[in-house]
């Protein structure tokens, strides 16, 4: 992974010092909260319901063991001994004190980490595929390009006061998408054209929130060395023309939609023409420098993993079998596997991890890999380079830590935002809903029978829980000060992206999980085979059977209506 050089290190150190001064000026009263707020946001510091919240950046979801040890240390020393992994591959601490934050940033800087631009109206963390670099289905590792975009966007002086936040994701898997690129302000796909050349397909204007959109293609094929200048052109058009009159209409998706794709693209390409051959063109030296930092580790030459993994799947240890079936993914290097570490344990808020677990996970990453850990946007972790033969031993260790749930992509592998328990923006709680679902469906055999079910829960319209793209999506709303929940079906964040559709009236707190259960019961009744997933059934039959399961059959049509329908 990328190692800071003296420049990267100095930038982070100077930012830490700058923020230290700003905190002092806030505490002394020299700057007011109104002025301090955008400053602290650009340093990742929110004010939430009960405390500040610090969001630490984990660029493209990649961590070293040393970094994970430091995250554990920070949880222990400055917080309540746990952290929360987010849908943008970052980690959040819910209880830091303001005057400790500069010290936390110093500790982070000592392991090449920071909280820069994880909030605020600026370019946020660049996210990517959690299997980047090891997936057999990728063209090449997208993370070096993520790092190049990170450096280009960090303290970009022109784009620090955008109309709104700006999120970029990159993936490199033709026909597949584990980074939800279509739902980002800019989505970058590493592609190969008909001539066998590699370049980028650039999408712009995707997003969730109040008005979910799939981002259309703006740059069909951008040469690798033109990546940064193309992005700069898009950001400049957005900075100039993005709406600033209404916070709910300020994302780039609104601008793309208002101008239309053709006009938006024309403005981008007009600006790009001025700058594409300027100094922003990436040099081969820089591309090589960063690529070299992501060179594959010293893999051993091993026989292919499949036979071994199959033997575990069919073996006598049923717990191991389930784990290998659900949580172990194929690896491009023969004999290796990528293992999903589920942070979705019964009675635990999804995505939370204690300091103790973080320290042990860091150790496991060195014992069962090359000291690297990934964070998924589904709030789980990945050990990316596990020898297939070592999977049983790893599983045994994970069981001791309560990190061995074999539920990847099953109904209890829930994405849930912090919700009204923590977040000042929320309308309703999401974690208790997730916990109740996890309890209701805890039987692992039933979970396997249900198959792939992505449940995604957001506590408000900001959609940090990605509810629009859940197979089952749940949105918390406020009805006269009380918590209600909208249920939607049929969303997907993958390459076959779709936005979920609402199933009917919102449910009160004590009925929402029962509603989910009715939906799943109906799914089992009408699926055409064991392999037909819930999302496939919804796409085949639509919402009607599910609405019926929830609300009863629709009212009988009158003879007149039936006669009408025949025309």
Residues 350 to 379: which contact another protein by CB under 8 A? 352-354, 356-357
Task: Scan for tokens 């009380």, then name that residue.
Answer: 482
Segment near another protein (CB under 8 A), from 276-284, 370-378, 500-508, 516-524?
Answer: 276-284
Cβ-based nearer residue to another protein, 347 or 510: 347
Closest approach of another protein to the CB of residue 444, in Å: 17
Q: Which stretch binds another protein (CB under 8 A): 12-20, 205-213, 294-302, 545-553?
A: 12-20
- What is the Cα–Cα distance from 111 to 92, expressed in whole angstroms? 17
Instruction: Give the one residue of 172, 228, 256, 406 binding another protein; rule: CB under 8 A.
Output: 228
The per-residue DSSP string of 213-277 comes to BPPPEEEEEEEGGGHHHHHHHHHHHHHHHS--S-GGG-SHHHHHHHH-HHHHHHHHHHHHHHHTT
Exactly one of 3, 28, 301, 558 binds another protein (CB under 8 A); which one? 28
Candidate segments 94-102, 207-215, 251-259, 309-317, binder of another protein by CB under 8 A: 94-102
Binding part of the chain for another protein, among 10-18, 124-132, 133-141, 192-200 by CB under 8 A, reads: 10-18
Stretches 138-146, 184-192, 429-437, 556-564: which one binds another protein (CB under 8 A)?
429-437
Please say whether the beta carbons of 247 and 164 come within 8 A: yes
Q: How far is the CB of 398 from another protein (least distance, A)?
A: 11
How many residues in the shown chain lie near another protein by CB under 8 A? 86
475-479: long-range contacts at Cβ-Cβ below 8 A with a sequence spacing of 24 or more?
A: 476/419, 476/420, 476/426, 476/427, 476/428, 476/429, 476/430, 476/433, 477/427, 477/428, 477/506, 478/427, 478/428, 479/506
Q: Which residue from 1, 22, 61, 336 is in contact with another protein, where contact means CB under 8 A?
A: 22
Nearest-approach distance from CB 6 to another protein, in angstroms: 9
Residue 26 CB, nearest approach to another protein (Å): 8
CB atoms inside a 10 Å sphere around CB 283 = 10
Q: Which two tokens stand for residue 230?
A: 């193309």
Which residues 466-505 are close enough to bind another protein by CB under 8 A? 478, 481-483
Establish if 293 lies at the interface with another protein (CB under 8 A): no
* Residue 386 in contact with another protein, rule: CB under 8 A: no
Residue found by looking up tokens 């600006």 in the block: 271
52 contributes a contact to another protein by CB under 8 A: yes
Instruction: Closer to another protein by CB, 11 or 214: give it.
Output: 11
What is the smallest separation between the CB atom of 470 and another protein, expressed in angstroms? 20
DSSP label at residue 198? E
CA atoms of 297 and 370, how far apart (whole Å): 7
Q: Which two tokens stand for residue 223?
A: 């040469």
Least Å from the CB of residue 37 to another protein: 9
- Report the alpha-carbon distance of residue 157 to residue 144 in Å, rounded: 23
Taking alpha carbons only, the member of 234, 174, 177 closest to residue 493 is 177
How crowded is residue 176: how many other Cβ atoms within 10 Å of its Cβ?
A: 16
286 binds another protein, rule: CB under 8 A: yes
Pick one of 272, 422, 485, 546: the residue that binds another protein (CB under 8 A). Answer: 422
- Confirm or reject binding of residue 117 to another protein (CB under 8 A): no
């Amino acid at each position: 992974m990328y190692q800071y050089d003296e420049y990267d290190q100095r930038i982070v150190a100077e930012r830490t010092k700058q923020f230290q001064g700003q905190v002092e000026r806030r505490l002394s009263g020299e700057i007011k909260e109104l002025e301090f707020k955008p400053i602290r946001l650009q340093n990742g510091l929110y004010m939430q319901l009960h405390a500040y919240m610090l969001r630490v950046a984990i660029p493209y979801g990649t961590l070293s063991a040393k970094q994970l040890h430091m995250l554990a240390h920070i949880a222990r020393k400055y917080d309540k001994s746990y952290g929360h992994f987010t849908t943008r591959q970052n980690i959040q601490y819910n209880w830091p004190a303001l005057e400790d934050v500069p010290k936390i940033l110093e500790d982070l800087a000592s392991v090449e980490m920071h909280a820069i631009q994880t909030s605020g109206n600026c370019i946020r963390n660049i996210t990517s595929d959690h299997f980047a670099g090891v997936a057999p289905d990728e063209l090449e590792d997208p993370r070096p390009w993520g790092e190049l975009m990170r450096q280009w966007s960090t303290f970009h002086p022109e784009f620090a006061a955008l109309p709104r936040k700006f999120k970029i994701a990159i993936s490199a898997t033709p026909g597949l998408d584990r980074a939800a690129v279509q739902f980002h302000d800019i989505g970058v796909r590493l592609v190969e054209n008909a001539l066998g050349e590699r370049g980028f397909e650039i999408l712009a204007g995707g997003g969730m929130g109040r008005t979910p959109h799939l981002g259309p293609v703006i740059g069909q094929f951008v040469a690798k060395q033109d990546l940064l200048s193309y992005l700069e052109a898009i950001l400049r058009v957005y900075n100039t023309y993005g709406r600033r009159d209404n916070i709910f209409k300020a994302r780039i998706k609104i601008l793309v939609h208002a101008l239309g794709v053709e006009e938006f693209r024309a403005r981008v390409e007009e600006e790009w023409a001025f700058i594409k051959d300027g100094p922003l063109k990436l040099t081969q030296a820089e591309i090589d420098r960063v690529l070299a930092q992501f060179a594959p580790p010293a893999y051993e030459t091993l026989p292919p993993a499949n036979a071994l993994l199959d033997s575990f799947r069919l073996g006598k240890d049923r717990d191991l079998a389930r784990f290998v079936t659900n949580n172990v993914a194929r690896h491009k290097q023969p004999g290796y596997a990528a293992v999903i570490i589920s942070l979705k344990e019964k009675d635990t808020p999804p995505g939370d991890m204690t300091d103790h677990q973080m320290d042990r996970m860091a150790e496991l990453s060195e014992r069962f890999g090359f000291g690297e850990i990934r964070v998924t946007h589904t709030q789980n972790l990945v050990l990316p380079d596990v020898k297939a033969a070592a999977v049983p031993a790893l599983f045994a260790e994970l069981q001791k830590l309560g990190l061995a749930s074999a539920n990847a992509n099953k109904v209890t592998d829930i994405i849930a935002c912090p919700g009204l328990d923590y977040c000042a923006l929320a309308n309703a709680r999401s974690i208790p809903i997730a916990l109740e679902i996890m309890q209701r469906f805890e039987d692992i055999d039933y979970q396997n029978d249900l198959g792939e079910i992505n449940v995604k829960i957001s506590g408000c319209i900001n959609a940090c829980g990605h509810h629009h793209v859940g197979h089952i999506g749940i949105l918390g709303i406020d009805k006269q000060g009380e918590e209600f929940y909208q249920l939607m079906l049929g969303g997907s964040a993958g390459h076959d992206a779709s936005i979920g559709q609402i199933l009917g009236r919102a449910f009160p707190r004590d009925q929402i999980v029962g509603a989910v259960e009715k939906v799943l019961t109906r799914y089992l009744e009408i699926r055409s085979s064991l392999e037909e997933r819930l999302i496939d059934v919804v796409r085949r039959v639509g919402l009607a059977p599910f609405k019926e399961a929830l609300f009863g059959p629709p009212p009988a049509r009158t003879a007149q209506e039936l006669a009408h329908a025949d025309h």
